């Protein structure tokens, strides 16, 4: 790109007092076999417990990688932080017979319930925005083994809280 292009970006950033910190961050778990899910805690990678950076949690959920032939489970998993396993989502459901590539999340949940907690509950602020504070780790906690369950990857979509520098 010619220098004037970069100059335009710099001018926009300086003019609006923003930085490159606006990028979303997507964190995922390893592949999880839900037949041995148990009530274990599954961390995300990369871990975003970065000192001095707070995040808004835009979406949490899972994508089915290998289909299952299970029955529906309304209390499949919880999403939260260390010490408070359901601070974001109390119960994220699993539909019966989920097909590969199915995504269930706080944004896509036509086949199973998966909603953020109400405002001022857990790690949800008074405006209803889920918050991951500096030093906290986002985790998913299993609700028990799923007979004939799928293999899934859990994910969270985050955006850094950026202070206006006005």
Q: For 81-125, what is each residue's pLDDT tens digit? A: 888 888 899 999 999 999 999 999 999 877 889 999 998 888 898
Q: What is the pLDDT of residue 58?
A: 93
Q: Give the domains, in start order, of the chain with CATH numbers.
A: 21-160 (2.60.120)
Region 57-70: what's the mean pLDDT?
96
- Tokens 């986002």 correspond to 138
Q: What is the pLDDT of residue 165?
A: 59
pLDDT exceeds cutoff 80 at 45? yes
The pTM assigned to this predicted structure is 0.82
Q: What is the pLDDT of residue 155?
A: 96
- Of the candidates 93, 92, 96, the one whose C-alpha atom is nearest the C-alpha of residue 70 is 96
SS (H, E, C) 125-140: CCCCCEEECCCCCEEE
Q: What is the pLDDT of residue 52?
A: 75
Q: Are the CB atoms for 85 and 43 separated by under 8 Å? A: no
């Amino acid at each position: 790109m010619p220098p004037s292009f970069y100059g335009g970006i710099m001018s926009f950033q300086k003019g609006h007092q923003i930085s490159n910190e606006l990028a979303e961050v997507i964190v995922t778990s390893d592949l999880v076999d839900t037949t041995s899910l148990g009530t274990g805690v599954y961390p995300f990678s990369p871990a975003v417990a970065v000192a001095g950076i707070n995040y808004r949690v835009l979406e949490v959920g899972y994508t089915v990688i290998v289909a299952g032939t299970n029955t529906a489970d309304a209390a499949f998993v919880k999403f939260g932080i260390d010490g408070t396993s359901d601070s974001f989502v109390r119960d994220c459901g699993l539909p019966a017979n989920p097909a590969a590539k199915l995504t269930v999340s706080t944004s896509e949940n036509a086949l199973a319930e998966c909603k953020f907690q109400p405002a001022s509950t857990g790690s949800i602020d008074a405006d209803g925005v889920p918050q991951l504070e500096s030093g906290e780790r986002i985790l998913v906690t299993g609700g028990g083994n799923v007979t004939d369950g799928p293999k899934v990857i859990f994910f969270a979509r985050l955006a850094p809280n950026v202070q206006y520098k006005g």
